[in-house]
């Protein structure tokens, strides 16, 4: 419990910081997209703390329903953005009651293989628990951890790692 309190304070501070920086980031990001020449600074606009906030790798379960949420290093706590994504998924799942899903939990390459398998499972379950609080029955959800075995981005840099720390909701039927 103690850990959770500390984290909330951190996140509050980060959010304030983010509000201040957000506009700057948007401008910067636009510049990068337009210029398409600078690759080295790309990471600045797509992470908050070390959680990925970009959309490069995101796919959609339905229009406006992103398929994945991202995590901080070694964490399985859902960010505000992640919770929003999962609420959209829950709404979509409630509308399509015949659909079942697999939550695939992943970790980045900066951890030992076995611990990362457990961490991926913990992340996918964080997503599962949240979907369940929004009325999705647990028998429609299965969980599969890949640990660090299936990165989406093969780079060895903080941005690539942030894209790989994820839980992806995949249609199972």
Partner 1 sequence: MRNLIILFLIFIIPSKALGLIEVDITRGNLNPLPIAVSPLSIDDESKKNFEKTLKKKDIGSEISKVIEKNLKTSGLFNPLDKNAFLQAPDIAHLKPRFEDWNLIKAQALITGKVKNVDDKLRVEFRLWDVLAGKEMMALAFTTVPNNWRRVGHIITDKVYERLTGEKGYFDTRIIYVAEEGPKTKRIKKLAIMDQDGANNKFLTLGNELVLTPRFNPTSQMVTYLSYFRNLPRVYLLDIETGIQEVVGDFPGMTFAPRFSPDGKKIIMSFAKDGNSDIYTMDLENRIVEKITNHPSIDTSPSYSPDGKFICFNSDRSGYQQIYVMKSDGSNVKRISFGNGLYGTPVWSPRGDLIAFTKLHKGKFYIGVMRTDGSGERLLTENFYQEAPSWSPNGRVLIFYRETKTNDKGEGFSAKLWSIDLTGYNERLVDTPTDASDPSWSSLLSN
Cβ at position 53, least distance to partner 1 in Å: 19
Cβ at position 30, least distance to partner 1 in Å: 21
The per-residue b/e assignment along 123-135, b for 16 or more CB within 10 angstroms, e otherwise, is: bbbbbbebbeeee
Cβ at position 5, least distance to partner 1 in Å: 13
Q: Is the dihedral of CA 157, 163, 167, 169 positive or negative?
A: negative
- Contacting positions for partner 1 (CB under 8 A): 3, 39-40, 74, 76, 109-115, 117-119, 121-122, 124-126, 129, 143-145, 149-157, 160
**CB contact set of 79 (below 8 Å; sequence gap of 6+):** 11, 48, 51, 69, 70, 71, 72
Cβ at position 172, least distance to partner 1 in Å: 10
Nearest to 99 by CA among 36, 170, 4: 170
Shorter beta-carbon distance to partner 1: residue 18 or 43: 43
Shorter beta-carbon distance to partner 1: residue 51 or 107: 107
Shorter beta-carbon distance to partner 1: residue 8 or 97: 8
Shorter beta-carbon distance to partner 1: residue 18 or 125: 125
Are 120 and 69 within 8 A, CB to CB?
no
């Amino acid at each position: 419990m103690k850990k959770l309190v500390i984290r909330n304070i951190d996140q509050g501070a980060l959010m304030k910081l983010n509000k201040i920086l957000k506009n700057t980031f948007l401008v910067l990001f636009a510049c990068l997209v337009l210029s398409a020449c600078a690759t080295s600074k790309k990471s600045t606009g797509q992470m908050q703390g070390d959680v990925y906030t970009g959309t490069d790798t995101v796919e959609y379960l339905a229009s406006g329903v992103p398929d994945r949420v991202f995590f901080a290093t070694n964490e399985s706590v859902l960010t505000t953005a992640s919770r929003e994504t999962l609420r959209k998924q829950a709404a979509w799942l409630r509308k399509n009651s015949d659909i079942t899903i697999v939550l695939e939990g992943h970790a980045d390459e900066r951890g030992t293989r076995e611990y990362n398998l457990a961490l991926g499972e913990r992340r996918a379950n964080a997503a599962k628990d949240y979907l369940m609080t929004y009325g999705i029955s647990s028998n429609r959800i299965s969980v599969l951890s890949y640990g660090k075995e299936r990165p989406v981005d093969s780079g060895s840099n903080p941005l690539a790692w942030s894209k790989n720390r994820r839980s992806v909701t995949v249609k199972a039927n």
